[in-house]
Structure 1
Amino acid sequence: MAGKKASFADVAAAAGVSIGTVDRVINGRGNVKAETEQRVLKCARELRLDRMLNLRPTRILKLGVVLQNRSNPFYKELVGALKQCASDYSYLNVQLAFYFYERLTYRDVLEKIEAAAEGCDGILVDVFEHPQIRDLLQKLTATLPVFTLASDIPDIGSVDYIGVDARSEGRVAGELMGRFLGATGGEILLISGLQSFHCHEQREMGFRSVLRDRFPQCTLAKPIESQEDEVSTDLLVTMALADNGNIAGIYNISVGSKAIAELLQKTSKQNVTLISHELTQENRALLKEGLIDAVIDQDHASEARVALQKFLAHYGRYEGRISQPEFRIYLRDNC
């Protein structure tokens, strides 16, 4: 086609559609299936159609986001980051629809996933492992792009995980704890939110392996599962400290770091090392006050950006570079 500009007819022939369909896609008239729109735009770019192909598409792409509706500050900030990213990419006509599950029950999660799948062009989920949840997500991957966020559900088909390596996070936490406690070591209280969250399980596995291999002077007290509830965290840690006077460190995988820090301060146990996750505004303040010793942060803003980019890329509306999120370590002096 040297010396000749591509026409709508050329694009239609390449994409296997009618000229009218090409016209509706290029001129934003709508009423075209998502996969057809994607194919037409791809062919138009390849043929270098002399049109402004990056103008705002007419058809709205909706991403359904399934998250916990909890007081966890991480989720509050994650929702804010997702909304900001959707605003940043609004010229590509993308919208978010949030579906919050109120309880940590598989029925509630299934209901929200089904609602998101019915009304959206793709779903982004942060959910826990359960056979029925796994089965549903596997079925959905046949017709929808499904992305797991922050906590993965491995091996369920064509799913893209957006998040950091949780086992590496746990290993870093173990290394920090072992070094903070030094040669004397001591007992460490490990608090997970819910073991069926893949990221919580992986963090614990990484933490345990590093202590076992490198810091034998550090042992684990009886672990706690808080069910992702701050009140439960407060109560369970209070009981653990009352029952065991040898606790020298606390690794909190989940929520409730503020309650733990205040409890240590109230009981004059500020010498107990506390390591937690997510540099929320609350945890940043605790770090600055010296009430938390280290925070491992998975950067919700980065995860939100990657989630929107991958969703848009799936439909041919984003062609830029996409970098996998990485976690960072924050101490008092760099928070």
Structure 2
Amino acid sequence: MATPVTITQIAEVAGVSTATVDRVLNNRPGVNPATVQRVRQAMAELGAGAPVRGRPRSTTSFRFAFVLPAARRGFFDLVDRVVAQSAGEFRHQHITEVTRRLPVREPAAFADELAQLAEMDGIALLAPDTPAVKLAVNELVRGGTHVVTLFSDVPGSMRETFIGADNRAAGRTAGLLLGREAPGGTGTCALLAPATRYAAEIDRGIGFAQVLQERFPGARLLRVDDMPETDDEACLRVQQALAPAALGGERLVGVYNVGPGSHGVHRALEGLGHAGEVGLIAHDLLDVHRAMLLSGALGFVLHQDVQYAVSTAARVLRALCEGVRGALAVSSPRVEILTAENLA
């Protein structure tokens, strides 16, 4: 009778990840023939019959990487902190977590460093949506590494699921909140968007524009693209874009900032005499946004449960590695509307 062995033992002998072994055993596509042969040869060397599912929990762990951009944005740093704070929870689940901050200004460099994580069992990825990143994701999945996207999707890639709030719905929510500020459905609503390759920020802008067009056709949408990320530069950009001459005499009723730099945006509005009379909406409950809500500088913050999303990503990756049926059946975090009155 063939001796039962674990997936971990097969992976060690074959020199591949446990995720790759799982794909071969379940006849799933995406593993190249040479790798399949190595796995089957390892099974033969071990005298393996039907391998035992899972791993001996006392001796091994799943290896997951949380991959984030290296840019010093407040939200990216927040996610980094939440992952670090979840280390204890991960240990109880026999998960070894590593966090990688990759260079985002050079998409090719980001993709190259991402591809070097091929021996991880799973990757939770927050990345720009570029062709190079798509190719890297596809190669990882073909090699047997499970990949889920986190907070911002990479659509069109072979990633297995997206975990995060519905960003288009978030943008629609911002449009509804600001559109109602327009008297009689008229006035100017400004959409501030960085020069971005993040699908999350693109979807927010699409949702915002959709709602204004559908529900507030009398309101004018003013797009301010190429917003800088630093507060000082954002302040200068808004001062120019929302100056009285740029508004053409129309009343500014609301500003939706889909990216960073909210404090600089507020300073510009204050300098233009709009502070206190123009609604300003931003994303994510960062420390600066909490202070701005309490001071009245921000009207609303659209927020999602970062801790839930990080924990869900790890849980989904583990379930995928274990071949659990329904591993991808998870609920997305809801978009919360935070004000100065409902802060926790």
TM range, smaller chain = 0.7 to 0.9
Tell me which moved more, 292-301 or 178-187: 178-187
User: 1:146-188: per-residue Cα shift (whole Å, max 9, x none)?
Assistant: 1111111123225211111111111111101111233263112
Residue 114 of structure 2 is matched in structure 1 by: 113
1:256 paired to 2:261: yes
d(CA) in 2 for partners of 1:176 and 1:206? Answer: 12
> Which range is displaced more, 249-258 or 96-105?
96-105
Q: Distance in 1 between matches of 2:98 and 2:55?
A: 24
User: How much does 1:264 deviate?
Assistant: 2.1
Task: Pick the aligned partner of 2:18 from 34, 45, 48.
Answer: 34
Deviations 1:165-222 (A, max 9, x none): 1111111111011112332631122112334211111111111111011112211124
Q: Please tell me whether residue 281 in structure 1 is matched to residue 316 in structure 2.
A: no
The residue aligned with 1:218 is 219
Change (3 A) 1:233 1:249: same
Is the CA contact (8 Å cut-off) linking 2:230 and 2:264 kept in structure 1? no
Distance 2:300 2:177 in 1: 8
Q: 1:37 to 1:100 in 2, by over 3 A?
A: same
Q: Are residues 227 and 264 of structure 1, via their aligned partners in 2, closer, same or farther at CA, if it must alter by over 3 Å?
A: closer
Residue identity over aligned pairs, in percent, reads 24
Q: 1:281-326 deviations in whole A, cap 9, x for unaligned?
A: 2211111111111111122111111111111212239999843322
Secondary structure of the structure 1 residue equivalent to 2:97: strand
Bigger mean CA deviation after superposition, 203-212 or 89-98: 89-98
Q: Is the 8 A contact 2:118 2:145 kept in 1?
A: no
Tell me the equivalent position of 1:328.
336
Amino acid at match of 2:129: E
Partners of 2:103 and 2:110 lie apart in 1 by 9
**RMSD across aligned positions (CA):** 3.0
| Alpha-carbon spacing, 1:249–1:37, altered in 2? closer, same or farther (3 Å) | closer
User: SS at the partner of 1:223?
Assistant: strand
In the alignment, structure 1 segments of 5+ residues that lack a partner are 1-12, 46-52
- TM-score by length of structure 2 reads 0.78
Q: Partners of 2:156 and 2:223 in 1: how far apart?
A: 31
Question: d(CA) in 1 for partners of 2:313 and 2:287?
Answer: 22
SS in 1 for 2:256: strand
Q: By how many angstroms is 1:258 displaced?
A: 1.4
Shift of 1:90: 0.4
Corresponding residue for residue 137 of structure 2: 137
Name the TM-score, length of structure 1 as normaliser.
Answer: 0.80
2:137 maps to amino acid: L
Return the letter of the residue paired with 1:205. Answer: I
The equivalences for 1:1-335 within 5 A come to 18-19=3-4, 21=5, 34-35=18-19, 56-115=57-116, 117-142=117-142, 143-183=144-184, 185-226=186-227, 228-242=229-243, 243-245=245-247, 246=250, 247-270=252-275, 271-316=277-322, 322-335=330-343
Distance 1:111 1:233, change over 3 A: farther
Unaligned 5+ runs, structure 2:
26-47
CA–CA separation in structure 2 for the residues paired with 1:161 and 1:102: 22
Aligned residue-pair number: 306
How much does 1:231 deviate?
Answer: 4.0
